[in-house]
Structure formats: C-alpha cells, structure tokens
Amino acid sequence: MQNGLIYGLEDRPPLKDTLFAAMQHLLAIFVAIITPPLIISGALGFDVETTSFLVSMSLFVSGIATFIQCKRFGGVGCGLLCVQGTSFSFISPIIMAGAIGGLPAIFGATMVGAFAEILVSRILKYAMKIITPLVSGIVVTLIGISLIKVGITSCGGGASAIENGTFGSYLNLGIAALVLLLIVLFNRSSNRYLRMGSIIIGIAIGYAVSFFCGMVDFGTMPEYSIFNVPVPFKYGVSFDISAIVAFAIVYVITAIEAYGDITANSLISGEPVEGQTFLKRAQGGILADGLNSFIAGALNSFPNSVFAQNNGMIQLTGVASRYVGYFIALFLVFLGFFPIVGVLFSFMPDPVLGGATLLMFGTVASAGVKIIASQQIDRKATLVIAISFSMGLGVELYPDILMQFPETIRNIFSSGITTGGLAAIISNMVIRIKE
C-alpha cells in the first residue's frame, strides 16, 4: 500500500473490487452527466423525445471520453483514473446559442470552440501565464452566478409553469425546497455511501413525492425504441460566430480547470505533479478534453470536461487503477444505448431538478470564490475583480445595455461569462501597478 492506496495506477484489481469501485464512481457522476442536457432541454423547450436522446448521447459520449482519458492513445489522454462528463460551465452559452440557432448552432459551436482548448494544450506553459488562477476564479464565479438564474427558474416550475400560470406555486417551491434540504441532510451524513449518493437520493425522493402529488403523467410517454443507435449530426450543424466566441472563452477556462483536476488526481494517485512526465500527462489530458468535446458535438452532445468528483472517490476507495476507468466507461456507454434512461429523467418535474441544481450552481460559484480568495488580493487584483464582475454581471442583469450594437456583437457580449471573462483576461494583462 503506497500513499494510502490499495491499488496504484497500473495495478489490476480483482473483478469484484474493480466493479465495486467503478459503481461508486458512477454513483458520484451519473446525475452530474445527465443534468446539463435536462436543464438545457427545459430552458429551450425541447420535447420528451429530443430530451431523452440528448441524455442518452451525454452518457454515451462520456463513456467514450472517459476511456480515451484513462487509456491514453499516444499523446491524447492523461492515462489516469480520470472521468469525463458533460460540463456545467457551458450551460449558459449553450442556452444562448440554442436561442439563436437551435441545436445545430450549439453543436457547431461545441466542435469549433473545442479547438481553443486543443490550442491551450499545445501552449500550456505560456497559457498559464495569461489565464492565471485569479482569472480562472473570476470566470468560474461568473459561471456559477449566471447559472443560479437557470436553477431558480426550474425551482419555480420552469417554462411550462410560466405558460400555464403556476410559476412559483407553493407546490413547486415546496418540492424544490424538499429536494434541496434532503441533499444537504444526506451530504452531512457520516455514512460515506449516503454522502456520495446524496444528490441521487434527494432527486429520487423528490421525484416520488411529485408523482404522488400528480405532477408526473407517464400517460403522455411517447413511443420509443428499446435500443438507441448514435447517429452523428442527427440534428445538423451550423456555425454562429457569437456562439463560437462564447464557447471558446469557456473552453480556455475549462482547460485550466482540467489542469488543476489532473494535478489533484496525480497527487492522490501517488504520481509526480511536476517534471516532464507530469507535463505530458497534463497536456494529454487537456488535449483529450478538447478532442472529446469535438466528438461530443459530432454525436449530438455537449462539451465534456474532466470531473473533479472522482478524485474524492479515489481517496475514499483507495483505488487509483486506471483499469477501473475502463469499466466506468463501459457502464456509461451501455446506459447510453437505452432510451428508457433518458425518457424517465425527461419526465422529471422542473422543481425536482431545480432543487438539486440550485445547490450545485451555488457550489460552482463558491468554488470560484475559493480560487479568488487563495490569491493575494492586492490593488491590481482588486481592480481586475471589480472590472470583471461589474461588466460581467452588468450585461447579465441588464442585457438591453447592448441594444444599440449590431446583432452579432450583442449576442457575443450579452453573456456575462463572455464579457466578464474577456474583461478579466485583458485587464489582468494590461493593468500594471507599482506597489
């Protein structure tokens, strides 16, 4: 046993131990993978069939991406027990792109924007000088804050509740509050299994309660095939410059986040966190992040990123073997083939999802604040933070400020993430203060 590990990176645990570890990882990431397509579908008003397919493809692509990361093909992949899934960071830009050009615009921006992350992987040493932890922290905070609006809308009942006049009803808010409180309660448990499964348990109970309250009608369930066949470019693809720019900025930030997650994973796994071996591993992981997102766009899914959740799983289980990742990947691909998974989750009432995601998005924002707080907040940092938040939150709260600009410019900068992110990068590079 080394570094508290039962099985190291290249060890092959017995099948029983492998399956047990893989199932725990799956438990920790499953909800996080399917939640983005559910939120996006709800915000853009997709039907059950489309929502179900998007959920299935998210699982399928996450399986492929996880296998590439763990296996490492040449210089692609980090070669660690590293799980990938659909990224929360892109939800706001995706909804913006969907409002402009529907699913084709989303998938086009997903594919083209991915080259920004691929480029970062090639110039990692230099990119780290521009995209500093301060910049990353600002963007992550803005992502969390901008998503809270989406979460609170779901808590109130979503778009359908706005249309039928039930938005913000006692029942909707009660269900959302129940789910949120259950997740907090189970997350505080000393039992590690209850803690790991807190989100799934909270959602499951909320789903059951809402069913008995008459909020779920399976009578409207559409006909669906038993088996899902992935169809590349099923919904077509188009390219909108404003969507591509917004996606590219978030891709750059997720590249830096992936670097941090890979560093943490290497440390936990007893692998080097500096030197040439580590640099190749980090570059390969970020490169895979970008390539996997490109594949995701082609297979009707959304950008993928390295998940931080599984780092905690490695610590809990003492299993750092990348061979466990192959089984996680297999489970995800397997689930993606069966539409029933997506159909069941597509019937989930918005308040159930809202109660869970509101907490998740708040956690994203707090993670960003934590990154900012870890830096020295001198005069320059104060100015960078002030400029970035003012501009980012300004356009997020009052997008009409840009109404006099051309449509393309308006679409690019109406996203608080894009405006605040660019402001953070530029101001951090330009501002020079002699203390």
pLDDT tens, the chain, 435 aa long: 455 678 888 889 889 888 888 887 887 788 788 888 988 998 898 888 888 899 899 999 999 999 999 999 988 999 999 999 898 888 888 998 999 899 999 999 999 999 999 999 998 878 777 878 888 788 878 878 887 887 898 899 887 888 888 899 999 999 999 999 998 898 788 876 777 677 788 888 999 999 999 888 776 666 666 777 888 999 999 999 989 988 998 898 888 778 878 887 888 888 887 788 888 998 999 999 999 999 999 999 999 998 876 777 787 677 889 999 999 999 999 988 888 877 787 788 889 988 887 887 787 788 788 888 888 899 999 999 999 999 999 988 888 898 898 877 877 787 787 788 889 989 999 988 766
The CA–CA distances, whole Å, from 117 to 65, 268, 280 equal 15, 25, 15
Q: In this structure, how many other beta carbons lie within 10 angstroms of the beta carbon of residue 26?
A: 18
E strands present in 25-90: 84-86
What's the confidence (pLDDT) of residue 419?
A: 87
**Which residue matches tokens 């909800």?**
31
In sequence order, what are the residues at sequence separation of 6 or more whose Cβ sits closer than 8 angstroms to the Cβ of residue 403?
A: 410
- The secondary structure of the chain, three-state, reads CECCECECCCCCCCHHHHHHHHHHHHHHHHHHHHHHHHHHHHHHCCCHHHHHHHHHHHHHHHHHHHHHHHHCECCECCCCCCCEEECHHHHHHHHHHHHHHHHHHHHHHHHHHHHHHHHHHHCHHHHHHHCCHHHHHHHHHHHHHHHHHHHHHHHHCHHHHHHHCCCCCHHHHHHHHHHHHHHHHHHCCCCHHHHHCHHHHHHHHHHHHHHHCCCCCHHHCCCCCCCCCCCCCCCCCCCCHHHHHHHHHHHHHHHHHHHHHHHHHHHHCCCCCCHHHHHHHHHHHHHHHHHHHHHHHHCCCCCEEECCHHHHHHHHHCECCHHHHHHHHHHHHHHHCCHHHHHHHHCCCHHHHHHHHHHHHHHHHHHHHHHHHCCCCCHHHHHHHHHHHHHHHHHHHCHHHHCCCCHHHHHHHCCHHHHHHHHHHHHHHHCCCCC
The CA–CA distances, whole Å, from 130 to 137, 256, 379, 418, 430 equal 13, 11, 18, 16, 11
- Euclidean distance between CA atoms 346 and 40, whole angstroms: 11
What's the confidence (pLDDT) of residue 389?
A: 94
What's the confidence (pLDDT) of residue 244?
A: 93
**Which residue matches tokens 């003012």?**
390
What's the confidence (pLDDT) of residue 196?
A: 62
Closest CA to 428 of 380, 371, 394: 380
Q: What's the start-to-end Cα distance of the chain, in Å?
A: 49
